[in-house]
Amino acid sequence: MKNIVYKLSIKMPGLKHIVQKIEGRLSILYPANRNSIICKTNMYLIKTYISAILVILGLCFFAEVSLYYSVLTGIIIFIIMDEKIDSGFEQLDTKVLKQLLKFVEDVKFRFQFNGMLEEALQESIGDAEHEMSVHGQKIYECLLESYFAEKQDYIEISPNHFFMTFYSLCETVLLYGDKKREDGSVFLKNLGYLKEEVNVELLKRSKIQSNFMGLKGICIIPMFAIKPIERWAVYNIPELENVYNGSFGAVSTILLCLMSIAIYKIVCILKAGSKIQGVSEMIKNITTRPRIENIIVKLINSNLKRAIKIDRLLKESAYGYNIKEFTVKRFITAISYFIISTILTIGFGLSDDFKQSIFLYMAVPILAVILGYYYGVISLKFRSQIILMDREEEIVRFQNIVLMMMHLDRISIEQIISEMERFAIVFKNILAKISDRYTYKGVRSFREAKEEADFPPFERLMDGFIACDDTYIYVAFEDMEKDRQYFLDRHKQENEHIISNKTTIAKMLSFIPLCAVILIKLIIPFVMEGMTSMQSGSLL
């Protein structure tokens, strides 16, 4: 009977995705044995299901049981569960990040006395909280190179790039040793840089959390106000029943629901920022089937110019799918929209007046299919714009990597570029090209990267690498070290500006469903009925 909720959920097709999502994230936050991860996943599932049951009980008070509300409730419960999982892991991620800050301080304090990294790590692990002690032990094992595969695995299971940075700093010291300068140890100075980065990130997350609080709920709640508004309006003006039960009522309700869900997803993208997009194994498996793959290839080749543009957007957005997988995803989304819109349309029933407009029962699903098919491209373009806002932040991250590595002995340009590529999202493809071409193109690969990026801060960074061809790495980036405080202050200012812009856009979008419901379900029907009454009165 142990972990019975987990065992039942993992076997259900509809819940398997959520279980795998929870389990995958927990394995990163708590890199422990399999049984421990399953127990934690089981507890998360129990909490999530309790929340879902409470939502269902709450919805019973809104309206009578109907097909419309049944489908709507199912959609909302899925969104609520997904949101609860994401918010829970955001809190855990922030908690672990705060523990990392204290862990770095402890390592820095102990290392400065004897210069022994292994001892500093072991003592700090003993004093750390549970989550950080687990990660600290994992880092320690990887640094000792117990076995090669384990060393590579930590990069994949690290909770965020700050853990990766700390691991890279420790690894570099063990491989090349610490370097002493006039102003002290390079390793201790780099740990100080890392502390500053973590503090800035914690402030940023706190600001985003407070600014976006409640906005996702505002996007969804108006859908539940549709039926109560209709019943209230019919109670006061019985003639409006024909309007709400007719073609106008059915089409407007379905479009309002689809619009609310789309805006909810956009607000989620705004809050999440430039995170690497997750991938679905189901989509990948479908794409690899020969018949489907041939159809997709023919479809792509039929409009090659547009496919090239979409492929460029996929790469710029650090999307998890290639052009073929993205096309399959678009079709799956369109089919999902078709099924939902068809069920909702049937849920309204057929009145006598509506039978005369039967073509609308076909028009609504077709319109939903078109919306679902193009939603992927629209959201992709929107995501690319959001990522452009985060370019400055990634440049600051690159500058920190350069500052942390440029004074190390035997360090090479290839190693710095490889480290930058490991942390990159926005510029990942450009850095990958540099890594591939540098061996035979040399500094020309950096000049090509400047032209491709067309972003002044990135171009200045590339100029530093070009200068490395004629001088030492630390000399080429000497000005960057002098201007570090300026870059840090500008980074904080840019964060404030980006968060402010995202919040403004999110607030504007999140209130659109509410305004649309009031306008379409209340004001327009009242105006239509008023005009009809006036025309009837004039005829009399």
State pLDDT tens for residues 329-361.
Answer: 888 888 888 887 777 666 555 454 545 456 666
Across 177-292, the runs of DSSP E, i.e. the strands, are 180-181, 184-185
Token representation of residue 80: 């609520």
| pLDDT attached to residue 147 | 40
DSSP reduced 3-state for 181: strand
Q: For 417-472, how does the pLDDT look when each residue is reduced to its tens digit (9 = 90+)?
A: 888 887 787 788 888 889 888 888 888 899 888 888 878 888 888 988 898 888 88
Look up residue 151 and give its amino acid.
K
CA dist list (Å): 138 to 33, 34, 152, 479: 12, 15, 12, 36
Distance between first and last Cα of the chain: 76
Angle, helices 13-29 vs 4-11, to 10°: value is 130
Q: How far apart are CA 363 and CA 440, in angstroms?
A: 58
DSSP reduced 3-state for 412: coil
DSSP reduced 3-state for 79: helix
Largest CA distance in the chain: 101
Beta bridge partners of 184: 181
Cβ atoms of 102 and 128 closer than 8 Å:
yes
pLDDT tens per residue across all 540 residues of the chain: 567 777 777 777 667 767 777 777 777 667 766 677 778 788 877 877 777 777 666 666 655 556 566 666 677 777 767 777 777 778 888 888 999 999 999 999 888 887 888 888 888 988 888 888 888 888 888 887 644 544 555 666 777 878 888 888 888 787 777 777 777 788 888 888 888 888 888 888 888 888 888 888 888 888 878 878 888 888 888 888 877 877 777 778 777 887 888 888 888 878 876 555 556 667 878 888 888 888 888 888 888 888 888 887 787 666 777 888 888 888 888 888 888 777 766 655 545 454 545 666 677 778 888 888 887 888 787 777 777 767 777 887 888 788 877 877 777 888 888 888 877 877 888 888 898 888 888 888 998 888 888 788 888 889 888 988 888 888 888 777 666 677 777 777 877 888 888 888 889 999 999 999 999 888 888 888 778 777 766 555
CA dist list (Å): 16 to 55, 87, 239, 247: 21, 19, 47, 38
pTM for this prediction: 0.74
The dihedral sign for the CA sequence 229, 231, 237, 240: positive
Q: How far apart are CA 42 and CA 24, in angstroms?
A: 13
Which among 344, 346, 341, 313 is positioned nearest to 327, based on CA atoms?
313
DSSP-assigned letter for residue 471: S
